[in-house]
Chain A
């Protein structure tokens, strides 16, 4: 059974200019209750890897540089 690629928009975005992941910051990744954020290997910055979000906001509130923005997932918006 082959798998399909199924692109979807993500509700949580990170401003690469503001993100200081290269200095070792992992705050948003650490606090997310659903573990859906990760370092993007391409940019070295945090990003939303899985579209499995409770729009609960610890990632945005706890980010030290204000780089994270949580939107309501499109299906609910």
Chain B
């Protein structure tokens, strides 16, 4: 690769990640204070980036008056997470939920309504009613893009952020990035930075062996988690992995949330229901895993009993939104919902708060533990937040960051940090031979599957740590031919950081919790006396990976003892008796 240029840009707010939460943060910061300069840095192109690239087929967690109250929702999420939640942040989401739906509606995002124009909310969760279908949800990105333009947010596409910059006093001072097509190096000085880089979705290897056949958009490889870690932020409950029940091999949702309200259900190989509730939780995944392991697997999504008109409605929704290539996949295999159940499997592991609870710690204002640094969406610690959560949380971050900017100057940064990062980023471009990003990524992720996939066994985790350390040494041989491969090489380094974090966080919590997500074979019991707390993983002053406990703040919504176990009784009564 030829001579590399460096550009320096100054802004008030830098948002990293232009998928779902990021654009909303940028828009809401500008709405709050149009005088601010807001830069949105995106690895791909904001027009089609992130999890909602092709839209969404429904809101999984809409808190709509008449169907659910914020208090009910907070209770549901607390119970589904075995009590370990920062309720104030969940409450901030729940109260922001309905106003956000109305805002999205006003900018052209379409939701299902009944004949009288009311939202058509459906029940999928164990206790309350929160699912709002979006049969015409494919225009989400277009609606967001119009607002980005209207509010004059400065968008830089095809720039991948690689590290954050800290001021001498520790607060955030900006970020560095690299152009994925030219290799140009970029320094953005900012008063405040909002991270919205999505889940760490390229951690485990899909069982197909195809590196990019992940559940998450593979651009979300854990850069956000790695950057937050290196900037000194605390990361919460990383041991609470994301593992999802998906269409086998295709690795996308089948999708029980869409089909459930129509009568579709998860079944074993006898066509029998084995769980009462299809809402994705650690307990549900444990039941799913047990069924796969027993002679009753594989597990399927069954719709064969549904009426023709219902099935065609389901097909319209599932084959035109979110993961529209589902239809093609089924066609190739001759799977017609009318005749054949859809074979399912469990996904590779990842970090994601959008679906689980593993994220960069944020409070109810979306603030991380580093001054001036915010996180939103799948990578921020508000559990089970999904798309609407990314929007609400992003909006909170954007507004709070706008206020923060008013009371701070552009912080100084250390030139040496930039020089060091430039060296790290560009090192693989300076070698003529060595190891390719592809083989190093494959090996790392294969080891993640071999050793980190639950059930978690201490002896396996120790081996994993030793093997990851060997791969870290091999980084000295990492070699790339062009800027595209350089992006993959940098992504690999985020993946390796996340693999180390997953191992360390899991070993720290010496109990089992959250069903399959944190099932420690050597510590099978839930130990509320010692572990009814969040865990925070962070980089200490010596640059080592360290941990601490963080007490669960007093609840804002009380949970009666007898309701706490609701998600532990998901097995259908007949089967539970077997």
Show the binding face of A for B, using Cβ within 8 Å. 1-3, 30-35, 49-50, 52-58, 61-62, 70-73, 75-77
B328 at the interface (CB under 8 A from A): yes
Known: A52-B212, A75-B209. A57 touches B487 (CB 8 A): no
B48 at the interface (CB under 8 A from A): yes
CB-nearest residue of chain B to A2:
B433
Partner of B433, one of A1, A58, A75, A76: A1
Q: What residues of chain A lie closer than 8 Å to B487, measured between beta carbons?
A: 35
**Quick one: CB contact mask for B315-351 with A, threshold 8 Å, 1 for yes?**
0000000011100110011000000000000000000
A26 to B56, CA, bound (A): 25
Partner of B250, one of A33, A70, A71, A76: A76
Q: What residues of chain B lie closer than 8 Å to A62, measured between beta carbons?
A: 48
A6 to B205, CA, bound (A): 20
Shortest distance from the beta carbon of A61 to any chain B beta carbon, whole Å: 7
A68 to B48, CA, bound (A): 16
Shortest distance from the beta carbon of A38 to any chain B beta carbon, whole Å: 9
Known: A3-B436, A35-B180. A75 touches B210 (CB 8 A): yes
Q: What residues of chain B lie closer than 8 Å to A54, measured between beta carbons?
A: 212-214, 217-218
Q: What residues of chain B lie closer than 8 Å to A57, measured between beta carbons?
A: 54, 324-325
Q: A35–B44 contact, CB under 8 A?
A: yes
A56 to B434, CA, bound (A): 32
Q: What residues of chain B lie closer than 8 Å to A55, measured between beta carbons?
A: 213, 325
Q: A58–B54 contact, CB under 8 A?
A: yes
B251 at the interface (CB under 8 A from A): yes
Shortest distance from the beta carbon of B479 to any chain A beta carbon, whole Å: 8
A77 to B247, CA, bound (A): 12
Partner of A75, one of B49, B53, B208, B217: B208
Q: A34–B212 contact, CB under 8 A?
A: yes
B484 at the interface (CB under 8 A from A): yes
Shortest distance from the beta carbon of B240 to any chain A beta carbon, whole Å: 25
A33 to B198, CA, bound (A): 13
Partner of B325, one of A1, A2, A30, A72: A72
Shortest distance from the beta carbon of B102 to any chain A beta carbon, whole Å: 28
Q: A72–B329 contact, CB under 8 A?
A: yes
A73 to B214, CA, bound (A): 12
Known: A30-B45, A35-B181. A76 touches B251 (CB 8 A): yes
Minimum-distance CB pairs A-B, first 3: A31-B48, A58-B48, A33-B44
Q: What residues of chain A lie closer than 8 Å to B570, measured between beta carbons?
A: none
**Quick one: CB contact mask for B33-62 with A, threshold 8 Å, 1 for yes?**
000000000001101111001100000000
25 contacts between A and B (CB under 8 A): A1-B434, A1-B435, A1-B477, A31-B45, A33-B219, A35-B44, A35-B180, A35-B181, A35-B487, A49-B484, A50-B484, A52-B218, A52-B488, A62-B48, A71-B328, A72-B250, A73-B212, A75-B209, A75-B213, A76-B206, A76-B213, A76-B249, A76-B250, A76-B329, A77-B249
Q: B212–A53 contact, CB under 8 A?
A: yes
Show the binding face of B for A, using Cβ within 8 Å. 44-45, 47-50, 53-54, 158, 180-181, 206, 208-214, 217-219, 249-251, 323-325, 328-329, 332-333, 433-436, 477, 484, 487-488
Q: B435–A72 contact, CB under 8 A?
A: no
Q: What residues of chain B lie closer than 8 Å to A76, measured between beta carbons?
A: 206, 208, 210, 213, 249-251, 329
Q: What residues of chain B lie closer than 8 Å to A35, measured between beta carbons?
A: 44, 158, 180-181, 484, 487
A56 to B213, CA, bound (A): 10
A71 to B250, CA, bound (A): 12
A52 to B212, CA, bound (A): 6
Q: What residues of chain A lie closer than 8 Å to B433, measured between beta carbons?
A: 1-3
Q: B325–A33 contact, CB under 8 A?
A: no
Q: What residues of chain B lie closer than 8 Å to A3, measured between beta carbons?
A: 433, 436
Q: B218–A34 contact, CB under 8 A?
A: yes
Q: What residues of chain A lie closer than 8 Å to B434, measured between beta carbons?
A: 1
Q: B48–A32 contact, CB under 8 A?
A: yes
Known: A1-B435, A55-B325, A75-B210. A34 touches B48 (CB 8 A): no
Partner of A73, one of B44, B45, B213, B323: B213
Shortest distance from the beta carbon of A53 to any chain B beta carbon, whole Å: 6
Q: What residues of chain A lie closer than 8 Å to B212, measured between beta carbons?
A: 34, 52-54, 73
Known: A54-B212, A71-B328, A75-B210. A34 touches B219 (CB 8 A): yes
Given A56-B53, A56-B323, 7 more A-B residue pairs with CB atoms under 8 Å apart are A31-B47, A32-B44, A53-B212, A71-B328, A72-B250, A76-B251, A77-B329
